[in-house]
């Protein structure tokens, strides 16, 4: 099965798409932790540890992890020396998992794409399909690609790019995440990964997106 990616700026409905995926599986009689597994990043505790919430306040419970290998170690019995992966390492109680869902993919390390590809390969070797859905920001507050998500996007068979309503002009064309510090646009030199919600971020279109001190040429 393909890797699906839900991406775009903050407030564009990515987490809502994740919640909808989970709801449909529950409606289909599937059981969390048996038929599908949902992961979130440990640092994203805006709504409580292991809670994914849409902006219309629907919530699902996720398994918090700090690293990509943490996702793999939940699914596999991994010896310390990390041998060549084979289906025999899959935990018996998880061999019937049909769907893997990861929220806030941009917070994970750069191994996420390779880990998900390896997991997908193991399920294929068992002769089973595993649907993988990843939600995350494609761009940081500076308008630069998140390396982890860029790699995941390059591996995806299907990408759904969400847009939000621009906080300045009100048009449904916001593709950028605007970070604010004391109500003012953040500086280019500020840390890239800062967890927050509408107290720190808004969505803006390219015309109204601002970053103080942004160089003309980046990279």
- Domain holding 90, by residue range, is 3-162
pLDDT value at residue 48:
64
**In what helix (H) or strand (E) does residue 185 lie, and over which residues does it extend?**
strand 184-185
pLDDT in tens, the chain (219 residues): 679 999 999 999 998 999 999 999 999 999 999 999 999 999 876 766 677 877 677 888 899 999 999 999 999 998 777 668 899 999 999 999 999 999 999 999 999 999 999 999 999 999 999 999 999 999 999 999 999 999 999 999 999 999 999 999 999 999 999 999 988 999 999 989 888 777 789 999 999 999 999 887 765
User: Is 95 among the domain residues?
Assistant: yes
The domain that holds 73 is classified in CATH as 3.40.50.300
Would you say residue 15 lies in a domain? yes
In this prediction, residue 107 carries a pLDDT of 94
**Inside any domain, residue 141:** yes
**Comparing C-alpha atoms, which of 200, 214, 163, 167 is closest to residue 14?**
163
Element containing residue 64 per DSSP (H, E): strand 63-65
List the catalytic residues: 104
179: in domain? no
Does residue 32 sit in helix, strand or coil? strand
Residue 52 in domain: yes
Q: Does residue 92 form part of some domain?
A: yes
Q: What is the pLDDT of residue 17?
A: 92
Please state the φ and ψ torsions of residue 105, each to the nearest 5 degrees: -60, -25
- Is residue 172 in a domain? no
- The verdict on residue 62 lying in a domain is yes
Count of structural domains within the chain? 1
């Amino acid at each position: 099965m393909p890797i699906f990616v839900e991406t775009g700026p903050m407030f564009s409905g990515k987490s809502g798409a994740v919640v909808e995926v989970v709801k449909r599986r529950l409606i289909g009689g599937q059981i969390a932790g048996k038929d599908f597994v949902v992961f979130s990043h440990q640092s994203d505790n805006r709504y409580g540890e292991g809670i994914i919430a849409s902006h219309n306040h629907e919530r699902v419970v996720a398994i918090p992890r700090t690293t990509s290998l943490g996702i793999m170690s939940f699914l596999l019995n991994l010896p310390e020396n990390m041998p060549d992966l084979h289906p025999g390492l899959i935990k018996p109680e998880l061999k019937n998992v049909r769907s893997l869902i990861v929220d806030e993919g941009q917070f994970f390390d750069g191994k996420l794409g390779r880990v998900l590809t390896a997991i997908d390969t193991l399920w294929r070797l068992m002769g089973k399909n595993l649907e993988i859905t990843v939600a995350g920001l494609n761009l940081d507050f500076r308008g630069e690609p998140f390396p982890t998500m860029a790699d995941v996007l390059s591996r995806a068979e299907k990408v759904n790019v969400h847009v939000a309503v621009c906080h300045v002009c009100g048009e449904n064309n916001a593709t950028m995440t605007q970070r604010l510090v004391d109500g003012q646009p953040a500086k280019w030199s500020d840390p890239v990964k800062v967890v927050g919600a509408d107290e720190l971020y808004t969505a803006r279109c390219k015309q109204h997106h601002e970053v103080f001190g942004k160089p003309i040429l980046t990279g």
